[in-house]
């Protein structure tokens, strides 16, 4: 907390006014990072016109945002240690939004005739499954602390998945 106060140019007591504990600081930083990823995903989706392109933009933006923020995660995981619950709290907060966004894209794809191999009643489960696959990929990258090689085509599995929806 002393280091943070110095870096912020504030007194330690001022810092405790806004953040009663170190965990509150970590939560605020992690929440800010999650909000930035959310904003980037929304922007990327808004630029697309087809449901396939929106789905691909969502997954790729999420993945590339994680790549940009990877340096922060090992520090936060080490510092929070047994308080991993902070990350889970943020994840739970974002799960509903992410599933609804995915479901909306899938429903749009069904309604415009682009996704012919799924039914509307299956969109909730499929959206949840896609979110969990994405979380698994991200968790693996964060916990391992390393990225797949640059030459790995991250768009190829998404393209295969989208072909399956068609």
Q: What is the pLDDT of residue 83?
A: 56
Is pLDDT above 90 for 50?
yes
pLDDT per position as a tens digit, 1-44: 777 777 778 887 887 888 887 778 777 877 888 888 899 999 99
Cα distance between residue 131 and residue 110, in whole Å: 19
Q: Which CATH superfamily is domain 23-165 in?
A: Tetracycline Repressor, domain 2 (1.10.357.10)
Asked whether 23 and 83 are in contact (CB, 8 A), the reply is: yes
Rg (CA), the chain: 19
Q: Is the pLDDT of residue 107 over 60?
A: yes
CA distance 110 to 117: 9
Q: Are 103 and 78 a contacting pair, CB within 8 Å?
A: no
Q: Check residue 54 and give its pLDDT.
A: 96
Please check the confidence at residue 84 and state whether its pLDDT lies above 70: no
Q: Which residue has the higher pLDDT, 107 or 34?
A: 107
The full 3-state SS of 91-113, as one line of letters, equals HHHHHHHHHHHHHHHHHHHHHCC
What is the model's pLDDT at position 51? 97
Instruction: Report which DSSP code applies to 147.
Output: P
Q: Quote the pLDDT of residue 118.
A: 93
110-164 per-position pLDDT tens digit: 999 999 999 999 999 999 998 888 877 777 666 666 666 665 566 777 888 888 8
Of the chain, the end-to-end C-alpha distance in Å amounts to 52
* Dihedral angle sign, alpha carbons of residues 102, 50, 118, 107: positive
pLDDT at 46 over 90: yes
Give yes or no for residue 87 having a pLDDT over 80: no
pLDDT of residue 99: 94
- d(CA 13, CA 20) in angstroms, rounded, equals 10
Q: Parse the chain into domains and list their residue ranges.
A: 23-165
């Amino acid at each position: 907390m002393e280091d943070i106060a110095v870096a912020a140019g504030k007194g330690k007591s001022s810092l405790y006014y806004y953040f009663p504990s170190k965990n509150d600081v970590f939560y605020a930083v992690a929440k800010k990072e999650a909000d930035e990823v959310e904003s980037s995903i929304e922007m990327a989706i808004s630029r697309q016109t087809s449901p396939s392109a929106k789905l691909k933009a969502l997954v790729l933006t999420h993945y590339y945002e994680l790549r940009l923020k990877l340096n922060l995660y090992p520090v936060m995981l080490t510092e929070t240690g047994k308080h991993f619950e902070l990350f889970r709290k943020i994840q739970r907060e974002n799960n509903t939004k992410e599933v609804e966004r995915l479901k909306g894209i899938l429903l749009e794809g069904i309604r415009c005739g682009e996704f012919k191999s799924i039914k509307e009643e299956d969109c909730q489960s499929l959206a949840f499954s896609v979110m969990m696959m994405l979380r698994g990929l991200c968790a693996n990258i964060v916990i391992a602390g390393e990225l797949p090689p640059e030459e790995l085509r991250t768009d190829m599995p998404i393209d295969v998945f989208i072909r399956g929806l068609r």
